[in-house]
Structure 1
């Protein structure tokens, strides 16, 4: 039987909370996938149960109990069928860790950039101050320079009041 990992959630560069929800389709030896979250230094691990015969849908999660453990806001979620095969398939998904982007992170809202907008103006309207860093960090996969945003671009605005 061919081992398969098709991860549908999270997608690369999704903005996640301290409880990272994972879903997809998989086959796994003895029905178990290992889950690891790392920034390259520290790591949390868990597992998800998958049916052992044929491709099965699964849902799982991993809780990051201490959000201060990580120093970087870009994390790597690794799912692997290594319960019986050290060379089994694995998938690595980069995600952005909301609690390190905005203290009290509770989710995000979309914002469509309007002509003449700047990140400072958007931050002032959304947060009541000019700290655009949470917006810039939440969109680091599409915004390379905080001075270059474009009308029509959809930005994620991290929120602590959702």
Structure 2
């Protein structure tokens, strides 16, 4: 799939670990600066190998890992899954539980490629992939304090706030 000026979005494959690790660390660094109590910068030691191992593992049909590649270099990644309605969906209160949903679990773009269309291309590719598998809605979450991701999802990608995730640190008794 072609994206923005020379950018290509494709399925992840062995050898992409280095670029994925760089984008992942950049995302961790960005969010750790905003909410250090929630996010940490991943340890670089073994991170490429961790990605390569995960890339080599079999994935379920309803899970996608896509990367954005620019000039032969991986500059971003997205992980998404299609979630089918549960057998008890008709008794659930939340209507979305009876729909086929695309869940964006992770999006990371290398720092030097942000605000250049990489995230948009990855999201568009994931949404198209989800539609082909019958997804009716797409959902994701992000940290409310992020000055980059909140406007990206709301203004660029037309996502709407649906709820609030609440968090509380529990201190030892």
Q: TM-score, normalised by structure 1?
A: 0.24
- Going by fraction, where is strand more abundant, 1 or 2? 1
Highest CA radius of gyration, 1 or 2? Answer: 1
TM-score, structure 2 length as denominator? Answer: 0.23
